[in-house]
Amino acid sequence: MRVLIDQQYHLGHHYAYVKHLLPELLSISGDVHVAITSSGSASKEFTNYLSAFQSVRFDVVHEEANPSLPMSDRLRVHQSFRGAVDRVRPDYVLIPSGDAQSTAMALYRWTARGHAPGRVPTEVGIHFGTGRAAHGRKSQMRDLANAVNLGLSGVRRVHLVNQLFYEESRRLPIVGRYFSTVPHPVPAPTPLSKQDARRLLSIPEAGRYIGLAASLDSRKAIPEFLAAFRAASTRADERVLLAGWMNPTHSAVIERDFGDLIAGDRLMLKTGFLDTATYQAALAALDVVCTPYPRFYGLSSTLLEGLAAGRPILANAAGWSDAMVSRFGLGWTCDVLNHQAFVAAIRHALDNFETHQETEPIRRLLRYHTPENFARSWTEGIRGAAGLPARHPLRWEWVQAAQSG
């Protein structure tokens, strides 16, 4: 069985998803192709995540496209996907990050051209959608339109990353049966004490830390976070740690407005690409993981990875993060654009982080999001198509059962 993984983008989670999928997939098929771009093949992400898979054929067939997904690029990415299918002629297609490729599938299907050339069996992963977190009628109607479009696409399975979107979409008549939800793969962290992690990062070992390890892009309210921390804490032994690639705007604002935190040794910056060991050390060094993502309603990988490191979460009170924190008791939420609320939440988190405990619902949430369960979720359909014994993944409903138990 020849399998094609279509992977247009490489930044963020994209190649990590492929990395966690490949070992299980290679146990099923020895003929695996991954369609990528030239910049992807030359990236640090490729070296870090995919270069070790020598038996996989990485086909550099896609042109570059805007990751913000304007409609013109969505159509172009879909056409490039069709070209990859024509070249590879697979028996099965997986698209772990298919927000762009999926947009026009229903249109192509209903004009008798199929969701993919030859109507090859296809599964697609979707990262958009808000579900119960949708704000107002407009957002709700957008979710409904997207779900119907996906349900009519002709693919075998639509894997929704946002569990809130899944909970709503699965209830739809006719098309609801095509939806499942998939884990975000969170590797078990290397056991590391706070002091050892801080020593590895060459930062002061004593005191309390709040912060995040992530791509520090424009979606993160970094200036608001630092301003709230400065107002919440005057203690010399309380610090912020920011780790990961940082966009130039944030860097300039920090240099201009928060030099006092740097001079006082209260803001630790570890910027740049983080390998796995450094990323895990950054999370382990924290007492509280903060995810200040205003106007972001999707899944937060930093939240899950911070939770896997045993840390409580301070999240923005919106979307998936708000729902997960409140449902599972992961920590605290606040409106990160409300300065006084953010100040109070930071103070409360720093004073109460030691009360955080892992419960059975949290254990189930983390087991659901393991790389092994991610891979089983993505290969369940292929195993059936190949006539292999089933290896059923843990379902989201199993996680939900712990909340009501």
The strand ranges marked E within 81-145 are 92-95, 122-126
d(CA 29, CA 2): 7
**299-316 pLDDT, tens digit each:** 999 999 999 999 999 999
Looking at the structure, do residues 239 and 156 belong to the same domain, yes or no?
no
Q: Give 11's pLDDT tier (boundaries 50, 70, 90).
A: confident
The answer on 302 and 378 residing in a single domain is no
pTM (2 d.p.): 0.93
CB contact set of 313 (below 8 Å; sequence gap of 6+): 288, 289, 290, 291, 303, 306, 307, 321, 325, 330, 331, 332
Residues 198 and 181 in one domain: no
Whether pLDDT at 65 is above 80 = yes
- Please state whether 112 falls in left (phi above 0), alpha (psi between -120 and 50) or beta: left
Q: Extract the tokens encoding 127.
A: 């990262």
- For the stretch 234-253, pLDDT in tens is 999 999 999 999 999 999 99
SS3 (DSSP) at 35: strand
Packed helices 396-404 and 360-368: angle between N→C axes, nearest 10 degrees: 180
CA distances from 190 to 10, 273, 293, 357, 358 (A): 25, 19, 27, 19, 17
How does residue 92 score in pLDDT terms, banded at 50, 70 and 90? very high
Looking at the predicted structure, is the pLDDT value of residue 405 above 60? no
Q: Identify the H or E element spanning 146.
A: helix 136-151
| Residues 210 and 278 both lie in one domain | yes
- Mean pLDDT of the region 361-381: 98
Going by pLDDT thresholds of 50, 70 and 90, the confidence category of residue 295 is confident
Task: Return all residues near 252 (Cβ < 8 A) that are at least 6 apart.
Answer: none
Q: CB-hemisphere CA count at 13 Å for 402?
A: 18
- From the list 1, 55, 101, the residue with the least C-alpha distance to 381 is 1
User: pLDDT at residue 143 above 90?
Assistant: yes
Same domain, 31 and 180: yes
Is 86 part of a structural domain of the chain?
yes
pLDDT at 133: 74
Give pLDDT, residue 274.
87
pLDDT (mean) for 28-34: 97
pLDDT at residue 134 tops 80: no
Same domain, 246 and 166: no
Q: Work out the mean pLDDT of the chain and round it to a whole number.
A: 95
β-sheet bridge partners, residue 259 = none
Q: What is the total count of domains within the chain?
A: 2
Looking at the structure, do residues 104 and 246 belong to the same domain, yes or no? no
- pLDDT band of residue 404 (cuts 50, 70, 90) is low
Instruction: Count the residues in the chain.
Output: 405
Residue 365 inside a domain? The answer is no
The share of the chain scoring above pLDDT 90, in percent, equals 90
Task: Tell me which residue range forms the domain holding 307.
Answer: 194-357
Here the CATH number for the domain that contains residue 388 is 3.40.50.2000
DSSP 292-328: --TT--S--HHHHHHHHTT--EEEESSHHHHHHHHHH
The pair of structure tokens assigned to 99 is 């927000």
